[in-house]
């Protein structure tokens, strides 16, 4: 990805090292205050609502990434630890700048989707899931312990993510459909060309194998020497003859037409 390298050389100094660490800490803080605020005032003040943004509440363009998933106090620990593992893994693989850019593109795509549909109360659920999709692509065989007990490879969890996207597209309102699909923009931007090349290579391999099998499909030989078993496939230059004293169904190669025993 040469364009990424060019961007990094020019803007790499602006990257925030350990970005996911800060996001997870702030998610935990927001969850804590939300837990103490059953009225939902804090939650409602942070979501991405295009109508309120247009009224001047521009902080919502950023603060929605600080909203943790709606889950129990016990389960949120596992969720935030999982998000942290994914973010750190991607940053270690890519470096701070590329990870920052991946997250930024996801934020921009989510924001654009929210404004196009006019949907309110958008959170970073799909954005964070797109991080996991990138992690699963890079480390498909990495194992995580579900509830610190059950080992599971992340590539299988990725299939659940795709199922979740499909479920959202099929069953949820239009704003959620658009946000779910557009949240894949960063994934496709980073991995789309490689996925396309991989698909083309697989098709080429399939076509080559099909051609090879077609060219090498076994066909029964037309000529078979009754004496030695030679065929025109064994020796394309060999000539075959019928013996006038043998049953017409038998034939012999030029080497043995004169020395075979006659078969009636």
Q: Count other C-beta atoms under 10 Å from residue 80's C-beta.
A: 18
Q: What is the mean pLDDT of the chain?
A: 82
**pLDDT tens digits for 73-83?**
778 888 898 88
* Residue with token string 């990424």: 4
Tokens of 13: 């100094």
Q: How confident is the model at residue 100 (pLDDT cuts 50, 70, 90)?
A: very high
Torsion sign, CA atoms 34, 36, 40, 44: negative
Predicted local distance difference test score (pLDDT) of residue 101: 92
The rounded distance, in Å, linking the Cα atoms of 157 and 260 is 71
Instruction: Kindly report which listed range (10-24, 71-85, 189-203) carries the lowest average pLDDT score.
Output: 189-203
Q: Who contacts 81 (Cβ-Cβ below 8 Å, separation ≥6)?
A: none
Identify the CA nearest to 43 among candidates 69, 79, 21, 19. Answer: 69
Identify the CA nearest to 20 among candidates 75, 77, 99. Answer: 99
User: Could you tell me if 19 and 99 are in contact, meaning their C-beta atoms sit under 8 angstroms apart?
Assistant: yes
Predicted local distance difference test score (pLDDT) of residue 205: 59
The 3-state DSSP class for residue 160 equals helix
The rounded distance, in Å, linking the Cα atoms of 59 and 48 is 9
Q: How confident is the model at residue 186 (pLDDT cuts 50, 70, 90)?
A: confident
Give the containing element (helix H, strand E) for 41: helix 41-46
Q: How far from 108 is each of 47, 105, 113, 156, 187, CA to CA, in Å?
A: 15, 5, 9, 28, 13
State yes or no: pLDDT of 219 exceeds 70: no
Q: Count other C-beta atoms under 10 Å from residue 39's C-beta.
A: 8
Tokens of 20: 């996911």
State yes or no: pLDDT of 198 exceeds 70: yes
In the chain, the domains with their CATH numbers are: 13-193 (1.20.1540.10), 216-264 (no CATH)
**pLDDT tens digits for 15-64?**
899 999 999 999 999 988 887 887 878 888 888 888 898 999 999 999 98
């Amino acid at each position: 990805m040469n364009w990424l390298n060019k961007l990094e050389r020019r803007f790499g100094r602006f990257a925030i090292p350990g970005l996911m660490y800060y996001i997870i800490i702030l998610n935990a803080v927001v969850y804590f205050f939300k837990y103490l605020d059953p009225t939902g005032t804090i939650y409602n003040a942070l979501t991405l609502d295009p109508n309120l943004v247009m009224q001047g509440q521009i902080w919502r363009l950023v603060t929605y990434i600080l909203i943790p998933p709606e889950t129990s106090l016990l389960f949120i620990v596992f969720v935030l630890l999982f998000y942290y593992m994914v973010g750190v893994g991607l940053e270690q693989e890519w470096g701070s700048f590329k990870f920052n850019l991946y997250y930024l593109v996801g934020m921009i795509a989510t924001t654009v989707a929210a404004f196009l549909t006019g949907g309110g109360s958008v959170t970073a659920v799909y954005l964070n899931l797109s991080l996991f999709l990138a992690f699963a692509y890079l480390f498909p065989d990495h194992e995580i312990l579900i509830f610190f007990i059950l080992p599971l490879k992340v590539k299988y969890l990725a299939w659940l993510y795709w199922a979740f996207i499909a479920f959202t597209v099929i069953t949820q309102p239009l704003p959620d459909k658009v946000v779910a699909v557009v949240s894949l923009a960063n994934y496709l931007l980073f991995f789309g060309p490689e996925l396309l090349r991989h698909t083309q290579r697989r098709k080429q391999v399939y076509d080559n194998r099909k051609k090879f099998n077609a060219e090498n499909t076994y066909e029964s030989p037309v000529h078979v020497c009754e004496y030695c078993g030679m065929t025109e496939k064994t020796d394309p230059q060999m000539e075959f003859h019928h013996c006038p004293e043998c049953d017409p169904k038998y034939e012999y190669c030029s080497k043995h037409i004169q020395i075979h025993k006659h078969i009636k």
